[in-house]
Structure 1
């Protein structure tokens, strides 16, 4: 990417879950994962408070965030995963609304098709696609976030 960090708009891409994959572009692309697994003695809302604090840190260190894209999941493997996703999405959208940051979900099939050519690509194919683009994702969560970010940059010019 040839944008300078002075004129670049910061784009955040997220694969929401207990282990959230993230990728951010502020002229350069950085990515990773963040765990929001609750501790043994945590109350039910601590995961979401940690996520809120993490979003604030990302915004402070790499922002201001201009737009947020996240993986829009319609079907989950289990009830717990569905509840976690819903809670994280509610936290994210409320956080973004309070700051006037536009956000949108991107269907899973759209992301997979853009990254691999197949809308139902397995997790390993997403990791391989990220590696083919010279990224080194730690897992499929980070690979998905990278794919979302690249999709946003390449098809939406990052903005809404």
Structure 2
């Protein structure tokens, strides 16, 4: 007796920031990636960045989903206060969006992602881009490269279980 083939679940990987890197494995098994800018406009209120982010997540879920799991880069230390505030706001928006939809989410430590992608837990941006290119991707920047690395980590380790 043959085992039924299992349809791949839709997995979203994010590198949160003003320029958010993303990579998604759709239910069809295809991987796509890119970046999305959440830089505030000149006349935007303080919450518009986060509103645009949640609307973007909803649209991504509608077009490529349904999203089954979300993995994101878990940053413990930021170089600047503004970056920390943006990350915290995006993380709060992401987790509340996931909670509303019953979508599990989890952070992956930066060193874990870098080690999986390059063999070095302190790999620089160029090394992360080169690792994505070695997998056949052409990332626009290190944000997209990090998201690709997160997605491959999640797939290859079954979310750290393998």
TM-score bin (small chain) = over 0.9
> Post-superposition shift, 1:157?
5.9
Q: Secondary structure at the match of 1:156?
A: coil
TM-score by length of 1: 0.94
Residue 93 in 1 paired to residue 95 in 2?
Answer: yes
Tell me which residue corresponds to 2:44.
Answer: 42
2:107 aligned partner: 105
Which whole-Å CA distance do the structure 2 matches of 1:158 and 1:63 have between them?
22
Secondary structure class of the residue paired with 1:92: helix
The number of residue pairs the alignment matches comes to 155
Runs of 4+ in 1 over 6 A off after TM superposition: none
Structure 1 spans left out of the alignment, 5+ residues: none
Specify the structure having the higher radius of gyration (Cα): 2
User: Which residue pairs with 1:62 in the alignment?
Assistant: 64
Q: Give the alignment partner of residue 76 of structure 1, picking from 56, 75, 78.
A: 78
Which residue of structure 1 lines up, in the alignment, with residue 116 of structure 2? Answer: 114
Equivalent position of 1:9 in the other structure: 9
Q: Distance in 1 between matches of 2:151 and 2:160?
A: 8
Q: CA deviation at 1:156?
A: 1.3
RMSD: 1.5
Deviation sequence 1:137-160 (CA, Å, 0-9, x none): 00000000000000000001699x
User: Aligned with 1:12: secondary structure?
Assistant: strand
